[in-house]
Amino acid sequence: MSGFTHFDAKGNAHMVDVGFKDETMRVATAKGSVLVAPETMRLIQDKGLKKGDVLAVAQLAGIMGAKKAPDLIPLCHPLALSSVSVELDCDPEKSAIGITATCKVNSRTGVEMEAMTAVAVAALTIYDMCKAVDRGMRLTDIRLTHKSGGKSGSYEAA
């Protein structure tokens, strides 16, 4: 049906059978941003929010999010991740917190969903920790920026 792999011939959703695929090292990187008010940025950088160190908590939340991707996304395969890194970078000039997550696994299927889930959960955590002082925050541009491994090869975002 239209080349989508998660639908069978009748159009029903199903989990793709990856049992016949070769295990290869697979890597995926995703990015996103949280746009905040300038005062919120200062509070984050000064660790001045009542809930604690926003960046440290968001980093851990992103790592946990990657590990929970198959619990959140119905047709996502559970994977034994070999590595998850989540980096957060404050850009006071843009009032933006950049989030980059990279996931690695030696498996029969990729880790794109885990990387994007890590970014999304880190961004949601920033929002949750800062919402008392800034309800106008925006979570933006969550996207896959790199993928390697597997039969389909590599992908690099423009």
What is the distance of C-alpha 70 from the center of its chain?
13
What is the distance of C-alpha 145 from the center of its chain?
11
Alpha-carbon gap, residue 116 to 68, rounded angstroms = 12
Q: For strand 138-148 and strand 155-156, is the pairing parallel, antiparallel, or unpaired? A: antiparallel
Residue 128 annotated in active site: yes
Catalytic position from the list 22, 128, 134, 141: 128
Handedness of CA 41, 42, 46, 51 (dihedral sign): negative
Residues belonging to the active site: 128
